[in-house]
Amino acid sequence: MATPEAKATELKNQGNKAFAAHDWPAAVDFYTKAIELNDKEPTFWSNRAQAYIKTEAYGFAIRDATKAIELNPSFVKAYYRRATAYAAILKPKDAVKDFKTCVKIDPGNKDAKLKLVECEKIVRQLAFFAAIEVGDEPSAAEGLDVDSIAVEPAYDGVRLEGGMTQEFIDDMTERFKNGKTIHKKYVYQIILAVRKLVYDEPTMVEVEIPEDVELTVCGDTHGQYFDLMELFRLNGTPSEKHWYLFNGDFVDRGSWSTEIALLLYANKWLRPNCFFINRGNHETDDMNRVYGFEGECKAKYSERVFKLFSESFSALPLATLIGKKYFVLHGGLFSDDNVTLDDIRKLNRHKQRQPGQSGLMMEMLWTDPQTEPGRGPSKRGVGMQFGPDVTKRFCERNGLEAVIRSHEVRMDGYEEEHDGKCITVFSAPKYCDMTENRGAYINIGPDYKLKFCQFDAVPHPNIRPMAYAQNSVMSSLM
C-alpha cells in the first residue's frame, strides 16, 4: 500500500501536468491535496505558490512561498517566487530583499540578478514619483490646442469633423486590425470628449433597459483587441438597440490596450446614453506604469496621451445599477455591512483620483468573493474577500437580485457563486496567451433575465502580452 508521502508525490506530479496544460486552478487543487497528505515538503508549497502567481492570487503565493522557505531556508525557487509575487502587488522593496537572497544563495543565477536590478530601478522610480507628486498638478490638456493640430493630406483614414461618427469608428476598427494607429489629433479629441462625458456621470450610473433593447455586460478585456472583435462578431456591435457595459480592466497586460481604450471611448462619445464603462483596478496609474499601458501609450502615441487617459480613468464611474436589480462593479463588496447603494451614490470619486490602500473606492475595485462565510484576507495581497453571507445581506438590504463583478479569470468565462447572488464575468479568453480559459459576456433584455454566452480566443498578430511593460520582472509573470 502506498504511503501518504508517495500519494502526495503522485498528486504533485498530477499538479505539474495540470500546470503544464495551463490549467492553473486544477494545479492548485492537486498541490493542495498533496500538502494535505504531506505538509513538510517545501516543493509542494513552492509549486502551489507558482500556480497562485499564474491565477494572480499573489497574496496566497507569498504565504506559500514563505512556508516553503520556513521548511527549507536555502530554497532559491521559493525566494524567487515570493519576490515575483511582491513585485506583482507593487511591493518592490520586499522583492529586492528576496532577489538579493536568491543571488546570495546562488551567485550564478543570472535571472535573479537581472530581476534584482530591475526591482531596484522600480524602487528608485517610485521614490521619484512620490517626490514630485503635487496635489494640484495641472491637467495634461493645459496648453493643448487641438484645433490647431493639422491632419496631413497623406493621412489615409476617415476624417473626424466635429463629433464622433459610426463611419469613423468602422474605419478605426479596421485600422487597428491592420496594425495602424489613428492621427494624434483624433486621439486627443476622443479622450477629451469622453473625459468630460464620464466626469459628469454619477459615481453609480443607473440604467433601465427599454422594451426593444438588449444590454451586454462584458468583463475584463485587458488589451486583447482581436478577442474583443470576436465578441462583437458573435454578439453584434454597439448600437441604439444594442447597449454595452464594459466592467473595467480594458487596459494593461494585452498589447492592444490603446486600441481597446480608444474604441470603447469612441463608442461612448457617439452613444453616451447607450454605452457604459466602469472603472477597474487597472485603470489606475500605479498599475499602468508596470503592466504595460503607460509604455504602450508612449510607444504608439505620446506621454501626454497616457496622462490624458489617466485623467479620464479617474473620472470613470465606479458602478452601474441595472434595473434596480443588478449591481455591477469591477471588484466586489465591502468590509462594512452597513454600506448601501446610497453610500455609493454619495461617494465623490473626484476627490480621490487614485484608489489608495483603503476605503470604498479601493474595495469596489479590488475585493473578491470567497466560499467561506464572513470576510477573509485577500488572496491578492490587496483588499479583502467576502463570503456568501456578506453578499446575501448586501442584496437583501439593497433590494438586489445579484452583484455582477469581473476582476478574476474564470475557466468557463463566468461563474455563479454565493447561491447565484454573486456573478463573475471575464471577457478575455486564453488570458495573456497562457491560461486555457474561455471568455464570456452576459446579455440582459427588458425582462432582466440573464443570458450567459461563452466564446473562444482567436489568433492575433505575433506580439506577446506585456510587450510594452517597462521591466522584465513584470514580463516574467507571463
> Catalytic site residues?
282
Distance CA 244, CA 214 (A): 8
Q: Which three cell numbers stand for residue 352?
A: 480621490
197 Cβ contact partners less than 8 Å away, ≥ 6 residues apart: 268, 269, 272
What is the H or E stretch that residue 267 is in? helix 257-270
Distance CA 149, CA 281 (A): 33
Q: What is the dihedral of CA 372, 376, 380, 382, to 10 degrees?
A: 150
SS3 417: strand
- Residue 443, strand partner residues: 216, 451
Distance CA 420, CA 402 (A): 7
Distance CA 258, CA 445 (A): 30
Specify the pairing of strand 319-322 against strand 326-329: antiparallel
Specify the pairing of strand 384-386 against strand 204-207: unpaired
Alpha-carbon Rg for the chain in angstroms: 23
132 Cβ contact partners less than 8 Å away, ≥ 6 residues apart: none
Distance CA 290, CA 382 (A): 16
Cβ neighbours around 153 below 10 Å, total:
5
Distance CA 102, CA 80 (A): 6
133 Cβ contact partners less than 8 Å away, ≥ 6 residues apart: none
